[in-house]
Amino acid sequence: MECKSSKRMLRMPKAEGMLARTSSKKWIWLGLFVFHQFSLGFAHKTQVAIAKMGEEVTLPCCYETPSEDIPSNYRVYWQKNVTEVVIAYSFGTWLPNPLNRSSLNQRTFALSITQVEISDAGSYACIVQRSGSVKLCDQTVTLSVIAEFSQPAISLKKPSDCESSEVVVSCSSYGGFPKPKVSGFFNNVSVDWNTSLTSDAKTSLYNVTGMARFNVTENMNLRCSIEYSDRTVFGEYPLTKPDNCESFKEEPPSHDVIIASITVLCIFFVAIILLVRYFRCPACEHVGSSYDGTSQATATEDETKMSTKTTMVQFCTMTSETSSF
């Protein structure tokens, strides 16, 4: 009995050592977990803000002064893309403001930018310090700027050959940002567009035009969409197949139009003849009074005029008869 009890007494310290090591491991893991959560609280936080071109946007900061505190106890500055200072406030003193469209809320330290431009897009950091150079927070806000594209304008070019059912469709939209994508459906079937894109050098706004060919064998619907950022603007257009080829051909002039045109020409020629006769007769009489053979010359002239008049009347009559067939 004594031997057995001594063996048991020898085993007890070993069990207690294992328990102690297990307990210490738990405390170590718990400490690491608390430290990780504590470090996450002070890690850089990134937020995303979206603004429309020409409007005002407010970027939040990571710190707000207590109601009993005063702003002059703080140094606050916003910087863009790490190197560019947007606005700065140091213990009651405003530093030179490179961006004259910006302002700072002295309680929340939020940054406001008016008349937003495409060039304002980027990464902004708010850094807050208290007296003694103690950094209270450091937060990053990513600003995205968009400009709305116009409603797509859809135009249709019909084939020159009326037997062909192929048409060329263009879909255009203007004045937007960021870079767009043209998509759409032709009778619920996805369309591949041949896209051309241009950008204004001053405003950075995009103009886009997509072109596609379709075989219109029946009345169909076309939808063109302009996708940019997380937005979409679209237009719809019905494509109608002509009933027959005659809708593409030009109709010949009617019979009444031909007769009216010939009548006008006849009246025009008769008026010319009368004008010539009116202005030439005084000259003929003057010449006849100076030389002999006046009666013979006048008779010859009258015969010529009568012959010309008869010829014109016959021409008009023949032309009218021809057009009647």
| Rounded CA separation 258/55 (Å) | 65
| Model pLDDT, residue 277 | 73
For residue range 81-124, list pLDDT tens digits in order.
988 999 999 888 888 877 789 999 989 999 999 999 999 999 99
* Half-sphere exposure for 244 (CA within 13 Å, toward CB): 1
Residue of 310, 53, 316, 84 lying closest to 205 (CA atoms):
53
Contacts (Cβ under 8 Å, ≥6 apart) of 324: 259
First to last CA, the chain: 146
For residue range 52-77, list pLDDT tens digits in order.
999 999 999 998 888 888 888 899 98
Q: pTM of the predicted model, to two decimals?
A: 0.57
Burial class (CB in 10 A: 0-12, 13-18, 19+), 156: middle
| Model pLDDT, residue 314 | 58
Contacts (Cβ under 8 Å, ≥6 apart) of 31: none
| Model pLDDT, residue 163 | 66
Q: Which of 17-26, 81-90, 179-188 has the lowest mean pLDDT?
A: 17-26
Quote the DSSP letter at residue 252.
P
Q: Is the pLDDT of residue 42 over 50?
A: no
